Amino acid sequence: MLGAVGPRLRALRQQRGGTLASVSAATGISVSTLSRLESGGRKPTLELLLALSRAYQAPLDELVGMPPPGDPRVRARPVRRHGRTLIPLTQRPGGPRAYKMLLPPAEPEPELRTHEGYEWMYVLSGRVRLRLADLDFVMTSGEAAEFDTRTPHWFGGAGPEPAELLVLFGPQGERMHVRARPRAAT
């Protein structure tokens, strides 16, 4: 990609009717450096490209010949787990993941779980019950929650209708671990 920068720089200069001397005066880059950049004898640095971008009033992408962006639409398929439907909203591996989640109505409450990471949720519709350790909440449309997932937690549908929510979490959140319960006293 950088190998084609020189011809693009020469073409931009010529399209704008500039000379090496006039571009040198506008950017502070020596005529010899500009000539070597245009001929491919010198690799461009970010500092040089920024100065040329300002002088030519052209975005850096145009100078380095970035390919046009691909189709940004996410076409991941919904996944069903334990009666819930997760619709991926991100497709890039690693980093935070976004999902639209559909929860069935009035889910039975399993054991609280913990895992590494941080979670954020926003209720789009319906009612969602959120348990965080000893705290117990019912969230409705328009409410959001965020919490450290090392806190024992669980959430599920809490009303007679299904619930929809947006959930953000990192790769660690995809691997839940059951928190060990203390033994009952005998």
Q: DSSP assignment of 38-94, as one string? A: HHTSSPPPHHHHHHHHHHHT--HHHHHTPPPP------PPPEEETTEEEEE---SSS
Phi, psi (degrees; rounded to nearest 5) at 182? -65, 150
CATH topology of domain 79-178: Jelly Rolls (2.60.120)
- Of 38-47, 60-69, 155-164, the one with minimum mean pLDDT is 60-69
Q: DSSP assignment of 86-142, as one string? A: EEE---SSSS-EEEEEEE-SSPPP---EE-SSEEEEEEEESEEEEEETTEEEEEETT
List CB contacts of 143: < 8 A, sequence separation 6 or more. 122, 123
Query: What whole-number distance in Å separates Cα of residue 125 and Cα of residue 143?
Result: 10
Phi, psi (degrees; rounded to nearest 5) at 87? -115, 110
pLDDT, average across residues 107-127? 89
pTM of structure: 0.57
3-state SS assignment for residue 103: strand
pLDDT at 172: 54
Give the CATH architecture of domain 2-64.
Orthogonal Bundle (1.10)
pLDDT at 184: 53
Banded pLDDT at 183 (limits 50, 70, 90): very low
Q: Do domains 2-64 and 79-178 have the same CATH topology?
A: no
Question: Would you kindly state where each structural domain of the chain is located, as residue ranges?
Answer: 2-64, 79-178
Query: What whole-number distance in Å separates Cα of residue 102 and Cα of residue 105?
Result: 10
Query: What whole-number distance in Å separates Cα of residue 177 and Cα of residue 156?
Result: 17
CA angle 176, 77, 116 (to 5 degrees): 20
185: pLDDT strictly greater than 70? no
Identify the residue whose tokens are 């950088």: 2
Condensed to tens digits (0 to 9), the pLDDT of residues 131-165 reads 999 999 999 999 999 998 899 999 999 989 999 99
pLDDT at 2: 58
Cα 101 to chain centroid, rounded: 18
